[in-house]
A and B are shown apart, each in its own frame.
Chain A
Amino acid sequence: MVDVSTFKPNTVYVIYIAAAPERVWQGLTDPAFTRQYFGGLAVEVEPRAGGSFRMLTPDGRSHISGEVVEWSPPRRFSCTWVVEGMPGFAALPACLVTYDIEQAGGAARLTMTESHSWEIPDAILSGGRQGWPAMLSSLKSLLESGNPLSIKMEPPREMLEALKALKK
């Protein structure tokens, strides 16, 4: 199994959702949910540490792939993450995405932590820093109101330029 002990957290996003932790877990791990708020992508995950993790496009191509590092429903889901479906992204080292779900009063506190094994430039981090708030805001709307937000995200220009610079 992949060793993530050297990964360091670079981006953290916390959001509170009026739902039981089990519902938030379902929102993160059930393709019927992720399709609605995660850019149309369907999660496909083998529910065990060491299992495979993928996010599939509507036509079935693998857009993101990785390995499950921790599967502890409904508290913690952690997996490595390589974006395969976009030019320039697949060459980056895998990042680690960890979702922690805790009970907070009558709500659930969801903490997303994106960690990296290398000195990743801020310009490349900007993609996640822009994307996570949109995705997780939409997840919250979906779980609370039944309706996701329709926000289409493009990678920030500074990120694309940094990826180009890495290749040289």
Chain B
Amino acid sequence: MSKPSFVYVTYIRATPEKVWQALTEPATMKKYWFGAFAETDWKPGSPWALKFDDGRVADAGEILEADPPKRLVIRWRNEWKPEIKAEGWSRCTMTIELHQGVAQLTVRHELEGEGTKFIEAVSGGWPRILSNLKSLLETGSVTYETKA
């Protein structure tokens, strides 16, 4: 059996460098991630935290791989919902490839152990966040600013 996972692919009219920048720059993240942003130096082995706009830690973990502008792997655990945190560690792999002049961004989120809640949560979250990111890079505005 394969591990519980979620995969989302989106195509963005932007260079891989622009997509990488949007994925790693806190000020840009806040615009499409509903105010959330990352705190890390993006070096393999460094701690990583995703914080809400009020500074609470949403998720935390470690940078496993960072190969700009192509590949980013984060060891990732939810920190604010006990029932999701209880499912333990996940691995999030983001890959950016240039595909006929368009950036193809793939986010693969895989749980290390068993469970359904973590994957359910990210399955709802990634399409919102990445739809917003695509709009921001292509049009300068996000799809919508608050979670619906």
Contacts and interface: CB of A to CB of B under 8 A. Distances in A.
Interface of A: 14-18, 104-107, 109, 130, 133-134, 137-138, 140-141, 144-145, 147, 149-152
Contact of A133 (B9, B101, B141, B147): B9
B100 to A, nearest CB: 5
Contacts of B142: 18
B11 interface: yes
Given A18-B135, A107-B143, A140-B134, 14 more contacts: A15-B10, A15-B127, A16-B127, A16-B128, A18-B142, A105-B146, A105-B148, A107-B144, A107-B148, A133-B10, A137-B10, A137-B12, A145-B13, A151-B11
Contact of A134 (B11, B134, B138, B147): B11
Contacts of A144: 135, 138-139, 143
Interface of A is mostly: mixed
Interface in B120-148: 127-128, 131-132, 134-135, 138-139, 141-148
B148 A104 contact: yes
Contacts of A18: 135, 139, 141-144
A18 B128 CA distance: 11
A49 B115 CA distance: 40
B135 A151 contact: no
Contacts of B99: 151
Contact of B102 (A105, A106, A151): A151
A70 to B, nearest CB: 23
A151 B143 contact: no
8 closest cross-chain pairs (CB), A and B? A105-B148, A16-B131, A137-B11, A133-B9, A105-B144, A104-B148, A14-B127, A107-B144
**Most-contacted residue by chain B among A16, A17, A151 (CB, 10 A):** A16
SS class, residues of chain B in contact with chain A: mixed
A11 B4 CA distance: 16
A16 B144 CA distance: 9
A131 B132 CA distance: 21
A23 B131 CA distance: 17
A134 B13 CA distance: 12
B69 to A, nearest CB: 19
A125 to B, nearest CB: 12
Given A16-B144, A105-B144, A141 B132 contact: no
A32 to B, nearest CB: 21
Contacts of B145: 105
A141 B143 contact: no
B11 A16 contact: no
A18 B145 CA distance: 11
A152 B100 contact: yes
